[in-house]
Structure 1
Amino acid sequence: MSSIKYLSAILILVGLSTCGAKNLQEQNTLQQTAVQLTDKTTPVVNKNTATPKEEEEEAIALPPKAPLPSKKDSTTAETFNHSRWDRILQKHVSNSGEVNYDALRNDPSELNIYIDALTHNTPTDAWTKEAILAYWINAYNALTIDLILKNYPVKSIKGIKNPWDQKLWQFGDTWQDLNTIEHKILRPMKEPRIHFAIVCASISCPKLQNKAFTASTLEIQLTQATKEFLNDPTKNELTKDAVQLSRIFKWFKKDFEITGSLIQFLNQYTDFEISESAKANYKDYNWNLNN
């Protein structure tokens, strides 16, 4: 009888142990499930109390910003401000293009400041073609006036020794002269109307415009300068069957034939049609100073 009681006691203890183990296993399972659910839930961070480390980790999770466009691709690339040159022209150049060299000589400070600014802000690859053209057209005209002032009084630019080959101005690391600007920089840009915008300080040259050229208005300004020059009877005489032209059209004939004949170029800017068979002659060139 005592053996039966002993055996019963053992069975009861085994049962209790089994139940305890089962309960412990169930508790562990519930705890693991809770942990997994917690891990899958996005924590809410109170930004008012978040630590710098938490803010840093949150920023990393944001999508990256779109890359900024390079300067070359940007439509707002920085260009040169020609307003000082515009003021100089308005003050010292008449509507018909005569230059008051005496006044400029007596007060050259504004011109010197403008040229100094040009030499320290040369065009880059980021500039548009229009901005580069405007820059070098204005530079050519300003340097031509500066050349005259350095040799003033003078009756003609041709009275100066090698006027177009004098390397008087340092642009960045390069010393520039007028010939280089015209023939190595401007003409290769294949815009023939530059010949009516750059001025060699002479009566037979196109008139010096008393407004600075700018990138935003360049097309209008070049067209206006071309029409004014062609319609000036002291520079050109045009009829349907014959033309008496400035020698500019002879010296730079190839520039005006980039897309067609010389007559075709002229017809773009005249109020009547010049015949392709029109006879062309060239006027004498007056190199006297444009004052």
Structure 2
Amino acid sequence: MNLLTRIAVMLIALTTWTMLAGAAPKAALWDIWEAHDPGSTIVLDHMAWDRFLEHHVRPGSDGINRVAYDEVTAADRKALDGYIDALAAMPVRSFSRAEQQAFWVNLYNALTVRVVLEHYPVASIRDIDISPGFFADGPWGKKLVTVESEELSLDDIEHRILRPIWRDPRIHYAVNCASLGCPNLQPRSMTAENAEAFLEDAARAFINHPRGARIEHGDLRVSSIYDWFEADFGGDDAGVIAHLREYANGELAVGLSDVSRIAGDDYDWRLNSTRAP
């Protein structure tokens, strides 16, 4: 292979990697998880996850919640594993819809924390390249848990269960990807009872933080979440802006009244750790 051919191959590989890294999976329903029991009275216990969050999630003065990964003890890890194992053993398809939503959100977030802990210290969750595929990035495609005899990845939970079943853009504020640019990992679990307040509070907090949306010199810049998942927020700039206006306060609300397009987006992939590796 001559030099020009090698350069061409490298450029093709780089272009493909860039496209894949910037692309977001589409919501594609895994239909077996549609099953639920509207009459179910089962109420899940998320106390173990609450204890972990209370001890290790630290709200920052900058409005970003960080996780003290370096302070997690062996006993904490054992408790986290026990919580995930307990969820995985549950007959989730026999739950009510409300309990299912809390189940999947908490399982996603607990799995994300565990996968970071298994590879800590890392500068970014994208450095945990355990997903299958040559161009795979991060841990999202790796099968991490088995529920009702089905192996599941983080991508499965978010894009094949949560997004297509609930069709609620606020899901993006509930699941945490362990990055500074991500909506906060809340210091409490989601439950069927608190779900609406959980989602509303998370949406308002993220949108009114500069990493969610901000006006710069009259231009609107937003989190890349609104680009990657634009379809979930109305499908175009107008839909995203309408969503932002629902939750915006103060100067952001005033600024949004005068914009009709999004000027750009960005995202901070650095790990949401209290201590930089």
Calculate the TM-score normalised by the size of structure 1.
0.69
Letter in 2 for 1:256: F
Which structure 1 residue ranges, 5 or more long, are not aligned? 1-70
Structure 2 contact 219–262 (Cα < 8 Å) conserved: yes
2:268 alignment partner in structure 1: 286
Which structure 2 residue ranges, 5 or more long, are not aligned? 1-35, 132-138
Letter in 2 for 1:109: K
Helix, strand or coil for the counterpart of 1:154?
A: coil
Matched, 1:268 2:237: no
Letter in 1 for 2:47: S
Helix, strand or coil for the counterpart of 1:72?
A: coil
Structure 2 contact 220–259 (Cα < 8 Å) conserved: no
| Distance change (3 Å), C-alpha of 1:72 and 1:245 | same
Compare relative contact order (CA 8 Å, sep 6+) and give the higher one, 1 or 2.
2
1:149 alignment partner in structure 2: 117
How many Å separate the matches in 2 of 1:263 and 1:276?
11
Letter in 2 for 1:171: V
Displacement of 1:287 in angstroms is: 1.0
Q: Given the alignment, which residue of 28, 46, 55 partners 1:91?
A: 55
Structure 1 contact 245–280 (Cα < 8 Å) conserved: yes
2:88 alignment partner in structure 1: 119
Matched, 1:243 2:220: yes
Matched, 1:134 2:102: yes
2:31 alignment partner in structure 1: none
Structure 2 contact 145–152 (Cα < 8 Å) conserved: yes
2:207 alignment partner in structure 1: 230
Displacement of 1:133 in angstroms is: 1.4
How many Å separate the matches in 2 of 1:248 and 1:122?
32
Displacement of 1:106 in angstroms is: 3.7
Letter in 1 for 2:176: V
Letter in 1 for 2:229: F
Aligned length: 219
How many Å separate the matches in 1 of 2:201 and 2:109?
17
Displacement of 1:160 in angstroms is: 1.1
Query: RMSD of the TM alignment (CA)?
Result: 2.3
Displacement of 1:277 in angstroms is: 4.7
Displacement of 1:126 in angstroms is: 4.0
Displacement of 1:73 in angstroms is: 4.7
Structure 2 contact 227–265 (Cα < 8 Å) conserved: no
Q: Deviations over 1:98-157 (max 9, x none)?
A: 1011122543111011001110014224412x2211111111110001111111221111
Q: Deviations over 1:39-93 (max 9, x none)?
A: xxxxxxxxxxxxxxxxxxxxxxxxxxxxxxxx9353x521321111111100111
| Identical-pair percentage | 36
| Distance change (3 Å), C-alpha of 1:235 and 1:151 | same
